[in-house]
Amino acid sequence: MGMRNEPVARWIKDQSGGRTRLVFLGRLWADPAHFDLVITTPQYRVPDRPNVLRNALPLHPLTPERLETARAHWAPKLAHLPRPYLTLNIGGPSGPYAFGARASARLLRDTMALAQARGASLLISSSARTPPEAIAAFAAQTDVPMQLYRFRPNDPENPYLGFLAIADEIIVTADSISMLSEAYATGKPVHMFDLGAGTLSMRHDALVAIGERAQARALARHDPDRPDLSLGALAYRALMRWGWKHLSRDISQMHLRLARSGRMTWLGEPVRPASDTPPPTDMARALDRINALMCRS
């Protein structure tokens, strides 16, 4: 992984006389032809090649065993809260998407609407990037039973996995593809929260990228909400539009594929039914390709 590692890995392969096999993960900077296998996701816009494996979501370390361990640890600690449990994982500003007071207010509004419709308790986990406005908005609410975790670095009692494990439904702010991937691994219904609004929404960007501009305009026209704005987010949008594609990523393409495949839904839209069996993992696909590359059965 990483731009600095690319020339080092290629040098090692040259010194080995071609016996080394190179597998690259994530954002690729060089031509895919330099590697035996590239394992990536749509957000990085790597060109289609026979040696490119484009997974639906990033690889992650969650397994049914880890989730069961977390569930056993946290279920007794949260037994005072009535079920069902609605878990909310909050990220932060990301690339072209600002996350300020307006997004925080919409997240509170839409999360509370779903929690009250379900008669659910909220299990809220923040991250290192979560803006103070989002934490304050939920800390002030008293209408729904809630357990709110404020992120602390290297905290052994971080309940993130536990909240995922015991959730009945999960909301994830869609800035974090990793958190979306981990939520999907639970097999629970997952709602994506759109940080933007109108012409600056994640849904609008995804539709424009694939040429569905009429649908994008209709979406923006009927969106009553206003987006947060920041110079950093606007500069990133300019880089995505006019800069070299390798310098930016387009996470809206991930959202589009997740929604259209039925893996997830946008918060406020009808949810897909929960699965009784764990979803297929991209890790298994990646390992199969690596084993084939190394001539292993």
Q: What tokens were used for 24?
A: 């690259």
CA 146, 150, 151, 152 dihedral sign is negative
| CA 159/CA 39 separation, integer angstroms | 30
pLDDT at 273: 62
pLDDT over 80 (residue 249) = no
Confidence category of residue 108, pLDDT binned at 50, 70, 90: very high
CA dist list (Å): 243 to 95, 165, 235, 246, 266: 14, 41, 11, 8, 29
pLDDT at 296: 67
Which helix (H) or strand (E) element contains residue 121? strand 121-125
* Confidence (pTM): 0.85
pLDDT at 272: 66
pLDDT over 60 (residue 210) = yes
Confidence category of residue 83, pLDDT binned at 50, 70, 90: very high
pLDDT at 60: 83
User: How large is the angle between the packed helices 177-184 and 252-261, nearest 10 degrees?
Assistant: 20
Amino acid at 185: A
Q: Which of 95-99, 249-253, 260-264 has the highest mean pLDDT?
A: 95-99
Confidence category of residue 50, pLDDT binned at 50, 70, 90: very high
Which helix (H) or strand (E) element contains residue 122? strand 121-125
Average pLDDT of 50-69?
A: 88
Average pLDDT of 265-287?
A: 74
pLDDT at 67: 94
Pairwise pLDDT comparison (219 vs 273), residue with the higher score: 219
